[in-house]
């Protein structure tokens, strides 16, 4: 999670009812997805876009790096060989392989009551909605404890260990999320693995020996999970989106009205995609 320092977490009174926009976009490249997230967030801070919940997928499957993560931690030749994309997120955290998953993003101005306060305040509020949604799907989801583990023993893998208020099930991490606050906006996005091998990311990390790769795979498998592993069946993107909308509606006191990107958002997203997220100068900046 993109938190710069520890902060006290409060439990404010429920926010008054509100209406947010819901957007479900077609599968897209990593550069396009990150550009759309930032465009919505930027324009929401300027009052040109409403607070927005977006669900999306990635095509092709893509490795995303945290904002401050070294690109040397991934094996770019192995990424290319598997047909994956590579992008750097605007938020912090570690590497994620976005494949066979639902990704959500929430963007709005910092003075929106559900997004205001310290980073962990809003993070906790949003986590409540994610937990409720997963519980309605039949998963015994819970929030991780309000602390983060960092240090030299933490690998390049985002799903190795949960950070504060991320979502766990069966003692394993299920949703990894990150939040950024810049230019008056709040942007939080996260990854919900629906099915498949949760250890596939390890195949494209820059690791010195096959033994270390095998050991990290075993570690990730013991600490991370998918919806299918928890339920014993596959859940579609649309089924997962429906329960998360329901959970966030209940937790945040928000009604979601389906919409689409505005022409201004499309223009800014195209600019950000070309000049930032598809630009090696951004991807290779660390």
pLDDT at 107 over 60: yes
* Largest Cα–Cα separation, the chain: 55
Query: Average pLDDT of 5-28?
Result: 73
Collect all residues with Cβ–Cβ distance below 8 Å to 8 and sequence separation of at least 6.
118
190 band by pLDDT with thresholds 50, 70 and 90: very high
The owner of tokens 């396009």 is 32
pLDDT at 242 over 60: yes
pLDDT at 1 over 80: no
Single out the residue of 195, 193, 191 nearest to residue 232, CA to CA: 195
Q: Is residue 117 part of a domain?
A: yes
> What's the structural domain count of the chain?
1
Query: Average pLDDT of 82-104?
Result: 96
Q: Is residue 241 part of a domain?
A: yes
- pLDDT at position 152: 45
Buried b / exposed e over 192-216, threshold 16 CB at 10 Å, is: bbbbbbbbbbbbbbebeeeeeeeeb
Q: Is residue 3 part of a domain?
A: no
DSSP class of residue 253 equals T
- pLDDT at position 5: 30
Query: Average pLDDT of 29-47?
Result: 98
Residues of the chain above pLDDT 70, percent: 88
Choice between 248 and 120, residue whose per-residue pLDDT is larger: 248
pTM (two decimals): 0.89
13 band by pLDDT with thresholds 50, 70 and 90: low
Query: Average pLDDT of 225-254?
Result: 97
147: domain CATH number is 3.30.930.10
Q: Is residue 2 part of a domain?
A: no
The domain of 129 spans: 18-283
- pLDDT at position 117: 87
pLDDT at 9 over 80: no
The residues that are catalytic are 158
C-alpha span between 23 and 33 (Å, rounded): 12
Q: Is residue 5 part of a domain?
A: no
- pLDDT tens string 151-184: 444 445 544 444 566 899 999 999 999 999 999 9
What is the DSSP secondary-structure string of 76-113?
A: HHHHHHTT-EEEE-SS-S-BEEE-SEEEEEEEEETTST
The average confidence (pLDDT) of the chain is: 90
pLDDT at 2 over 80: no
* Six-digit token string for 232: 């014993």
Q: Is residue 6 part of a domain?
A: no
Alpha helices in the chain (DSSP H): 30-45, 76-81, 119-137, 210-223, 227-231, 237-252, 263-272, 280-283
Q: Is residue 108 part of a domain?
A: yes
Query: Average pLDDT of 203-225?
Result: 96
């Amino acid at each position: 999670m993109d938190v710069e320092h520890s902060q006290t977490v409060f439990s404010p009174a429920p926010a008054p009812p509100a209406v947010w926009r819901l957007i479900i976009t077609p599968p897209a490249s990593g550069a396009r997805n990150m550009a759309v997230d930032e465009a919505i967030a930027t324009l929401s801070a300027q009052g040109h876009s409403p607070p927005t919940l977006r669900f999306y997928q990635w095509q092709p499957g893509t490795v995303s790096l945290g904002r401050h993560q070294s690109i040397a931690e991934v094996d770019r030749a192995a990424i290319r060989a598997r047909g994956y994309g590579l992008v750097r997120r605007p938020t912090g955290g570690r590497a994620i392989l976005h494949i066979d998953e639902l990704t959500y993003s929430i963007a709005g101005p910092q003075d929106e009551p559900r997004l205001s306060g310290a980073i962990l305040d809003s993070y906790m509020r949003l986590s409540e909605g994610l937990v409720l949604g997963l519980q309605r799907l039949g998963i015994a989801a819970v929030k991780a404890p309000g602390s983060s583990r960092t240090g030299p023993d933490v690998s390049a893998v985002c799903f190795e260990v949960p950070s504060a208020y991320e979502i766990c099930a069966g003692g394993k991490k299920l949703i990894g999320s990150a939040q950024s606050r810049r230019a008056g906006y709040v942007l939080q996005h996260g990854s919900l693995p629906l099915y498949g091998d949760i250890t596939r990311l390890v195949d494209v990390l820059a690791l010195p020996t096959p033994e270390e790769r095998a050991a990290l795979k075993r570690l990730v498998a013991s600490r991370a999970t998918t919806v299918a592993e928890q339920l014993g069946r596959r859940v579609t993107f649309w089924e997962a989106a429906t329960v998360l909308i329901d959970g966030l509606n209940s937790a945040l006191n928000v009604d979601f009205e389906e919409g689409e990107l505005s022409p201004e958002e499309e223009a800014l997203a195209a600019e950000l995609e070309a000049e930032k997220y598809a630009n090696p100068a951004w991807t290779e900046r660390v």
